[in-house]
Amino acid sequence: LPQCRNDLELNGVHISHLEHADDLLLISTTPEGLQMKMEHFYHWCRENFMVINALKSHVCLHGPRPRTLPSFAFAGRVITLETEYTYLGVMFCSDARNLFDNHYSTKASKTSAAAHSILHVDAMVDSLPPAAGKTLYTARLEPLLLYGCEAMPDTDDSLLERLTAVQTMFIRSLLGVHKRAVLAPLYTETGLIPLKYRRIELVLRYLQYAIECPAHTYVRAAIADSLTLAASGEKSWYMDLQLVISRLHGSFTLPVPGEVSLQALEQLRSKVDSHMRDEFKQELDDKKKLYLLRERKGPVLALRPYLGIRNGQHRESLTHLLLSTHTLAVERLRWVERYRLKVPFAERLCRFCLTAVETPEHALLEC
């Protein structure tokens, strides 16, 4: 397509359209410019013995809508105006508060369906081993949860929660623990990374890749344009990433736009990873009910050996004891239920001897 003044310009690079296999995206900053590109594209297809499928073609307007909506057509065939479309698996919604609102919802729904199909294996093999479940998660679920994360830093916590809820549901089911289980052990015991940190890691790795691309490539132009906007305090992809990093409340920040380098980003990735592990250590120390998991040697996140116990009932019983999701009085009586308030610790007595608090060590070794 010929270059025109209505093309999208990123850091001096004109972008008139995007191509991926048979998926084509025409881009213009004005309705007149888009119609002109559609005509150029139609004539190019005629000369090359191709036919445009008008039924599969759509137009989407981003930004404030004009009072009178423009019309678009391929050789007289009117193209419908849409508010939602999908390109390369990423869903866009022009009338939502967040451009990727539908993308989060759709990926969460698909991942949930895939997760339940994996967990249904329990009905056939008695109990899915955590090691096998972790492999299936990495191969089948994580790609859905991470798809497109490089383009959309998670500035909206409510949207990220849709995906995180699926991840925590799957890990809880894999370990056989209930919804009251503390979140930290779900990751420290399986070696899986929380979705928030996993997505940040991939965004930073993508930024490292982008700044090394040649200057004429679209991705390098887009990143350079985003850095320029961020330097002037304007909204941009890089500003969104800065917001996401700042919400971690760590002793680190994203490099200022003029100091972005491979080395600086590598150091930031290392600091973010250390911050995540420190958060887990702190949560294990703060939660009194997790005293059996404290002061443990070895890595903070790992698939623990006890999860390799072949007998599913024995494995889940030990998991319940360590994660304090068992049915002993020390745990159950801390809950507030409809007809019972929280029972003080000293009054959570053993159901048999009625003289000591019913803890795992008392039930197994004393009573």
* Domain spans, the chain: 8-82, 100-312, 327-366
Beta strands 72-74 and 58-60 are unpaired
The answer to whether the CB of 356 falls within 8 A of the CB of 362 is yes
Sorted by sequence, the CB contacts under 8 Å of residue 83 that are 6+ apart come out as 60, 93, 94, 95
- Give 275-325 pLDDT, tens digit per residue: 999 999 999 999 999 999 988 888 999 999 999 999 999 999 999 999 999
pLDDT of residue 305: 96
**Alpha carbon of residue 150 to chain centroid:** 10
How far apart (Å, rounded) are the C-alpha atoms in residues 326 and 223? 50
What pLDDT band is residue 3 in, cutting at 50, 70 and 90? confident
H or E stretch at 34: helix 31-47
Local structure of residue 183 (DSSP, 8 states): S
pLDDT of residue 54: 85
How far apart (Å, rounded) are the C-alpha atoms in residues 350 and 355? 7
Provide the 3-class DSSP secondary structure of residue 208. Answer: helix
How far apart (Å, rounded) are the C-alpha atoms in residues 334 and 174? 25
The answer to whether the CB of 130 falls within 8 A of the CB of 121 is no
pLDDT of residue 64: 86
Q: What is the pTM of this model?
A: 0.91
- Give 123-159 pLDDT, tens digit per residue: 777 789 999 999 999 999 999 999 999 999 999 999 9
- Encode 291-340 in three state secondary structure: HHHCCCCCCCCCECHHHHCCCHHHHHHHHHHHHCCCCCHHHHCCCCECCE
pLDDT of residue 133: 95
**R_g of the chain computed on alpha carbons:** 27
Q: Is residue 268 exposed (0-12), middle (13-18) or buried (19+ Cβ within 10 Å)?
A: buried
pLDDT of residue 134: 96
**Side-chain half-sphere of 159: how many Cα atoms within 13 Å?**
18
What pLDDT band is residue 107 in, cutting at 50, 70 and 90? very high
